[in-house]
Chains A and B, each alone.
Chain A
Amino acid sequence: MGRIGRFIDERLDVSPLVRAFLDRRMPGNIGWFHTLGSATLFLIVVQIVTGIALSLSYVPSPDHAYQSVLFIDQTPFGALVRAIHHWAAGLIVLLMGLHILRVFIWGAHRYPRELTWMIGAGLFFVVLGFAFTGYLLPWDQKAYWATVVGTNIAGAAPFIGGAILEALRGGEQLGAVTLARFYGIHVWVLPAALLLLVGLHLFAIVRQGIAASPRRRPLVETEPGLSRRETYAREYAAEKRAGKPFWEAILKDAIVAAVLTVVLLALALGPGAPLEPQADPNITNYVPRPEWYFLDLFQLLWYFTGNLEPLLIFLTFTLASLIFIFVPFLDRGRHRHPRQRPVAMGLTAVVVVGVLGLTYLGASASPPGVVRVPPTEGMSGPELGGLQVYNEQGCSACHQILGIGGQAGPDLSRAGRRFEEADMRRQIVTPQNDEMPAYDGLSQQQLDDLVEFLKSLR
């Protein structure tokens, strides 16, 4: 300790605290997967620092928001800082998801760390709140339309949905009041919640110690008759004796933070932060798509239709959130090792595959109404003519052929096998159900070609 260190320590007496923090023992097997949490925390700090910097030049008003973002991008380092803020936001969602997965697979949400998990779950929702409110601030097309969709999803809640929607938007319409509110929530309300929850999360981690890696058999044999608390205390003490000091683990955290910094700089200097044209509430040919981390939810909304749709949206999101928050009380067997929890691991795999699958579908789905099915080699003259009719009449708005087009109507990829020719003709010109508009203005030639084309799809 240098002279300055001694000067401070004689007055504040902090060295015992520092020693207790750095030298406390931890279980062994604390590896690279354990850095996911600290990496998330590191990115949160990055967001606070870059966010404060951005707020120095940003104006939360529809008249000036977009222009102030352009101004930021033209100021030295401005585009870099904004791009870091943009990419770190996505990385936080990614790393947080992996951190949650790691904790669950390791069984670290089990006794006595249930509260740590629940505080962490709260942090997850706060982070999604940051993403959702931060979206709107640049006031570009993506910002505006993502907020239209997002506030409407919140408005789907039964009974109080309307009040929630209007409290979020600051009224029925989306405009100046909405932007000011989202800015206030993004820079004051959520940061306050974030700091509180991060503090509680870290407090809980330091008080309980980091969970030992799951073992198929505990390190020490415990006698029957001991309470859960005593059994746990013995096992954890044995884990700590066989473990290492905390300062050993920080090195890995620091290395990960350094790597993340390089990744962030590469993303910020490479692709940079996107900025679409200024928000235009009256545009009709814009195709709203959310950031990748909301694509799974966005895609999910394809599958809810009808009058019960708002209720289904609400129930699905609420149920999923409640299960996520209270999972420590649902997954509570004797064993922590993943191999001894086949049901929990199976369900986890289903969730992971579901999220990845929906994200992929959302990312690859072509927007309806604007796509054309390309011709393939070997198509006959009438078939090509039919394809042209298909594209001109905008059939892709509702129908899909080999993954191209909308999903409102039946998939026509195998129309030639699924439908009889006479049925096709009747359905096109005089549909029996009112699901499909009647295409009674086609010429006989056009109809013949179209049917020829559809018959060729096998």
Chain B
Amino acid sequence: MDEHRVPGRSSSGPVEPGATISSPAGGDPAADETAQARAELSRRNFVLRALAFIGGGIAAVLGIPVIGFSSAPGWQARAPIRLLSTSIVPTLRSSALTSVGRVADFEVGVPQYVKVDRPIVDGWVAENAPVGVHVVRTSETDVTAFDPHCTHLGCPLAWSTGSRSFVCPCHGGSFNSDGDVIAGPPPSPMIRYEIQVQDGEVFVGALQERA
């Protein structure tokens, strides 16, 4: 960087830019050199700025599609825009109505874990995959169904017959048969499925994640 330093004023005082060019003969050689150095310096600055500009432009033009594509799952399906997570549970989503049995198959107040094949879409995979559902008959005619994952961090919930609660093996969260938190860190009740009862047959629909 030293070779580009503009010599100090000691040589000949302030030099007007371009002065040496207009006086080719008999000029001050020191001033001549200074002006040349200045011209070179400003050109050097120009080239460096141009490099930054071109580089930044290329990075932006290529970076937008690359970063946009990589982060797409974070925003593409988020309409209307919602920032907070509502997708604690890892369950493969399905909006189809799937039969989980007849109301009469279930005992009132005793959750039963049912695995049913549901049509799911997992990226490029569209197939029927098994999905587990906790089904609870709440009265003669009413049934609720819960996703079997803790709302704390998504660990699997099993019904513990002894303590009559859904117990999370990760951090001890527990829920009653209504899916409400009775102990531990879970911040919200268990996530329910949409339910339809037709002629005594129970169908589960989509997860009711967004209140």
Query: When the two chains form their complex, are residues A281 and B155 in contact, meaning their CB atoms are under 8 A apart?
Result: no
How many B residues touch A, CB cutoff 8 Å? 57
Within 8 Å by CB of A397, from B70, B148, B172, lies B172
A305 close to B122 (CB less than 8 A): no
Interface residues as binary, B145-168 with A (CB distance below 8 Å gives 1, 0 otherwise): 000110011111111111111011
B185 A163 Cβ-Cβ under 8 A = no
Q: Are A145 and B84 in contact (CB under 8 A)?
A: no
**Stretch of A65-73, A332-340, A341-349, A406-414 on the interface side:** A406-414
Report the bound CA distance from A408 to B132 in whole Å: 26
Chain B residues with CB under 8 Å of A310's CB are 187
Contacts of B20 in A (CB 8 A): none
Q: Flag if A173 contacts B172 (CB, 8 Å).
A: no
Q: Which residues of B contact A112 (CB under 8 A)?
A: none
- Asked if B88 lies at the interface with its beta carbon under 8 angstroms from chain A, I say yes
Q: Assess the B172–A368 pair: CB atoms within 8 A.
A: yes
B61 CB–A CB distance under 8 Å? no
What residues of chain B lie closer than 8 Å to A227, measured between beta carbons?
A: none
B168 cross-chain contacts in A, Cβ below 8 A = 368-369
Interface string of B179-196 (1 = CB under 8 A from A): 000111101000000000
Q: Does B83 contact A (CB under 8 A)?
A: yes
Q: Does B47 contact A (CB under 8 A)?
A: no
The stretch among B11-19, B24-32, B33-41, B89-97 that forms the contact with chain A is B89-97
Known: A286-B169, A301-B185. A166 touches B91 (CB 8 A): no
Q: Does A142 contact B (CB under 8 A)?
A: no
A74 to chain B, nearest CB (A): 26
Encode contact with B along A20-36: 1 for CB under 8 Å, 0 otherwise: 00000000000000000
CB-based contact B82/A408 at 8 Å: no
Known: A176-B122, A281-B90. A393 touches B162 (CB 8 A): yes
B100 to chain A: closest CB distance in Å?
A: 13
- A5-13, A98-106, A152-160, A197-205 - interface stretch: A152-160
Residues of B within 8 A of A392 (CB): 162
Q: Which residue of A lies closest to B122 (CB)?
A: A175
B49 within 8 A of A: no
* A436→B182 contact, CB < 8 A: yes
Pair B82/A301 contact, Cβ less than 8 Å? no
CA–CA, A152 and B155, complex, Å = 10
Task: Enumerate B63-85 residues with CB–CB distance to A below 8 Å.
Answer: 70-71, 73-75, 77-78, 82-85
* CB <8 Å contact, B85 and A288: no
Q: Which residue on B lies nearest to A158, using beta carbons?
A: B84
Tell yes or no: A180 within 8 A of B by CB.
yes
Contact A369 B160 (CB under 8 A): yes
Residues of A within 8 A of B144 (CB): none
Q: Is the C-beta of B211 less than 8 angstroms from some C-beta in chain A?
A: no
Give Cα A187 to B170, complex, Å: 29
Among B70, B85, B125, point to the contact of A175 (Cβ < 8 A).
B125
CB distance from B162 to the nearest CB of A (A): 3
The answer, among B71, B122, B157, for a CB contact under 8 Å with A284, is B157
Q: Which residues of B contact A288 (CB under 8 A)?
A: 155-156, 169-170
Chain B hits for A393, CB < 8 A: 162-163
| A77 at the B interface (CB under 8 A) | no
Residue numbers in B under 8 Å from A301 (CB-CB): 152-153, 170-171, 185
B109-168, CB < 8 A from A = 113, 115, 122-125, 130-132, 148-149, 152-165, 167-168
State A147–B77 Cα separation when bound (angstroms): 21
A245 close to B (CB within 8 Å):
no
Residues of B within 8 A of A165 (CB): 85, 87
Cβ of A408 and Cβ of B153 under 8 Å apart? no
* A-B pairs under 8 A by CB, number: 194
Report the Cα distance A407→B172, complex, angstroms.
Answer: 7
A159-B84 contact in complex given A166-B73, A175-B123, A437-B165, C-beta closer than 8 Å: yes
Please pick, from B75, B93, B163, the residue contacting A394 in the complex, using a CB distance under 8 A: B163
Q: Are B85 and A282 in contact (CB under 8 A)?
A: no
Residue of B74, B154, B187 near A163 (CB, 8 A) is: B74
B160 contact set on A, CB distance < 8 A: 369, 394, 397
Is the C-beta of A306 less than 8 angstroms from some C-beta in chain B? yes
Cα-based distance from A398 to B175 in the complex (angstroms): 11
Q: Does B10 contact A (CB under 8 A)?
A: no
The distance in angstroms between the C-alpha atoms of A425 and B173, with both chains bound, is 24
Q: A residues 152-190 with Cβ under 8 Å of B?
A: 152-153, 155-156, 158-167, 169-177, 180-181
Q: Does B176 contact A (CB under 8 A)?
A: yes
In the assembled complex, A195 has its CB within 8 A of some CB on chain B: no
**Measured CA separation A180–B92 after assembly (Å):** 16
Chain A residue contacts of B124, Cβ below 8 A: 176
Q: A163-B75, A370-B169, A397-B163 are in contact. Are A148 and B154 (CB under 8 A)?
A: yes
Are A175 and B169 touching (Cβ within 8 A)? no
CB of B86 within 8 Å of the partner chain:
yes
A155 to B153, CA, bound (A): 9
Alpha-carbon distance A287/B176, docked complex (angstroms): 20
- Residues of B participating in the A interface, judged by any CB pair closer than 8 Å: 70-71, 73-75, 77-78, 82-88, 90-93, 113, 115, 122-125, 130-132, 148-149, 152-165, 167-174, 176, 182-185, 187
Closest 7 CB pairs of A and B: A394-B162, A167-B74, A162-B85, A408-B183, A282-B132, A174-B90, A394-B163
Q: Show 30 A/B contacts (Cβ-Cβ < 8 Å), sorted by A.
A: A63-B125, A149-B153, A149-B155, A149-B170, A152-B85, A155-B88, A162-B83, A162-B84, A163-B75, A167-B71, A167-B74, A170-B73, A172-B93, A173-B92, A173-B122, A175-B92, A180-B123, A281-B92, A282-B115, A283-B156, A284-B158, A288-B155, A306-B185, A368-B168, A369-B160, A393-B163, A398-B163, A406-B184, A408-B172, A408-B183
